[in-house]
Structure 1
C-alpha cells in the first residue's frame, strides 16, 4: 500500500510554497499527497498581495472528507492565519486521532510579509502545538515563541529546549538568517542533535520551510524515525536547491522534481 500524507496549509498561486510545494515534495518523496486548503493567497516570488481565508465550516468539511476516506499516515500543517481555523484543525486532528503531525509555525513569508494575526499565534500555542510530533520553527519564529533573542548556537539549543518542554514535542530549530546557516538543531526527549547542511549559493529559496516540513512528514509516513526523517528531508532540500531552478523576479522556487525521471518528463 502506498503511504499517504495530508498537508493543511495555504495555496501559493506562484507554486513555490504552500500547498503546491507540499504536494510536489510529498510526491517526490514517494507518498500519496492530499490537501486541505486553509487560505488562498495571491502571491509570487516578490511577495504576497492578498489572502482569502477558507471558512471554518468549509475547512472542517475538507478534513472530514480526507480522514473518512483515505486516512493519512502523516499530517503537515503550514500557514493558518485565523484562530477559528486553527481551532477547527485541532478539533479534527483530535477527533480522528491523527498521527505523525508536523507543524511548521508559518508566521512570516520569505519576502517578509506577515502571514498570521497576533491572536492566531496564541491559539496555535494553546491548541495545535501540543498535538505535534515535531515543530519546525526558523530562528525568527523561535524568537517569537520564546521571547528571547537568538544569536548563537547555544541560544538555538536553549530556545528549542524551552519550546520542547512547553509543548511536549520535538523541535527542529532551523538555522539560517546568518546564524548557523544550513545547520538545523533537532531537540527531542532524549537530547539534541545537530544536522549540518551544505551552504548552497542559490538566492531562490521561496518555500524552503514548506518543503522541509513536508519532506519530514513524508518520511515519517514511510515509518522512518524522526532523526532519519529530518536527515532525508535535508538531503532532499539540498538537491532541490542545487538544481538551480531560476524563475521569477524575486526569490524564486526550488526544483521540487529534480530527481523525477522517466519517459513522461522527456
Structure 2
C-alpha cells in the first residue's frame, strides 16, 4: 500500500513552505499526502502579510474525514495555528496509535512570527505525543534545550542550518540514546524557504513506508540537499526549493552519517 501521510499544517500562498511544500515532498518521495489546514497565510518570498487561523473544529473535521476513509500511516505536524488547535489535535492524537513527526514551527524563513507564546506553551502536549521532534536551533532554545525535549520521550533531530560555518550538522538523538550525525557543505543560496517543512515531511514519508527513523532521516536530509541545489531562483527574497527538479528515487537511502 502507498505510504499515507496526514499533514496538519498551515497553507503558504507562495508555495514555498507549509502544506504546499509538504504535499510536494510526500508526492516526490512516493507517498500519498492528506491535509488538515490549520491556518491560511498570505505570504511570498519576502514575508508573511496576513494569517487567519482555522477554527479547531474545522481542523478536527479535516483530520477525521481523512482518517475515517483513507486512513494514515503517520501524522506530520507543522504550523499549528493556535493554542486551541494544538490542544484539540493533542486530544485527538491521544486516541490514535501511529508515528507523529512534529516540526515546531515558530518563525518563517523570512523572520515572520507564526506562533504566539500561548501556542508555543501548548506545544508541550504535542511533544509528548511525538515520535520525533525536528526543531532548528532557535526553536530548540525556545523549547528549553535538548534535555527538555528528550525528556518528553521523543527522538530529537537538531537541525544545524542556523549555526555558523561552512558545514551544516544535523544530529538525530533517538529515544534510546543512539546518535547519528549528517554533515554536508552549506550551499551559498538565499532560496531556503520551506527547508524545515520539507525535511519533516520527508522523514514522515519514510516512516510511513516502514523505514527506520535513522534511514528515513538520512533520505530526507539528502532530499533537502538536492532540492536546495535545484532551487529555481524565483522571488525577490527567500525563494522556494526545487522539489521536483531535486527529486531522488523513492528507494534510495543515503547514509552519510558520521
What is the TM-score of this pair, normalised by structure 1?
Answer: 0.89
Contact 1:197–1:234 (CA<8 Å) still a contact in 2? no
Aligned to 2:251: none
Tell me by how many angstroms 1:260 deviates. Answer: 5.7
Residue 50 of structure 1 corresponds to which residue in structure 2?
50
Change (3 A) 1:83 1:257: same
Q: Distance in 2 between the 1:134 and 1:259 partners?
A: 25
Q: Distance in 1 between matches of 2:168 and 2:25?
A: 19
The answer for the alignment partner of 2:160 in structure 1 is: 175
Q: CA deviation at 1:162?
A: 3.4
The answer for the alignment partner of 1:160 in structure 2 is: 146
d(CA) in 2 for partners of 1:72, 1:182: 33
Partners of 1:161 and 1:258 in 2: how far apart? 38
Indicate yes or no: 2:235 matched with 1:248: yes
Q: Which residue is equivalent to 2:182? A: 195
Moved over 4 A (4+): none
Q: Are 1:136 and 2:134 matched, yes or no?
A: yes
Aligned counterparts of 1:176 and 1:77: Cα–Cα separation in 2: 20
Q: How many residues align?
A: 246
Q: Per-residue displacement from partner, 1:185-220 (whole Å, max 9, x unpaired)? A: 111123322111232222100010000000000001
1:25 counterpart = 2:12: no
Whether contact under 8 Å (1:45, 1:251) holds in the other structure is: yes
RMSD of aligned Cα (Å): 1.4
CA contact (8 A) 2:42 2:51 kept: yes
Query: Is the contact made by 1:240 and 1:254 (CA closer than 8 Å) also made in structure 2?
Result: yes
Contact 1:74/1:98 (<8 A) preserved: no
- 1:161-194 Cα shifts (integer Å, max 9, x gaps): 43112x1110001002234652111111233221
Pairing partner for 1:217 from 158, 183, 204: 204
Aligned to 1:237, which of 224, 242, 245? Answer: 224
User: Which residue in the other structure is 1:155 paired with?
Assistant: none
Contact 1:76 1:214 in 2 (8 A): yes
Matched-pair contact (CA < 8 Å) for 1:86–1:128: yes
Deviations 1:232-265 (A, max 9, x none): 001111110111311101010001111569xxxx
Q: Normalising by structure 2, what TM-score?
A: 0.92
Q: Is the 8 A contact 2:223 2:247 kept in 1?
A: no
Distance 2:57 2:2 in 1: 30
Q: Which residue of 1 aligns with 2:255?
A: none
1:73 and 2:58 aligned: no
Change beyond 3 A, Cα 1:185–1:100: same
Residues 121-132 of structure 1 aligned to structure 2 (within 5 Å): 121-125=120-124, 127-132=125-130
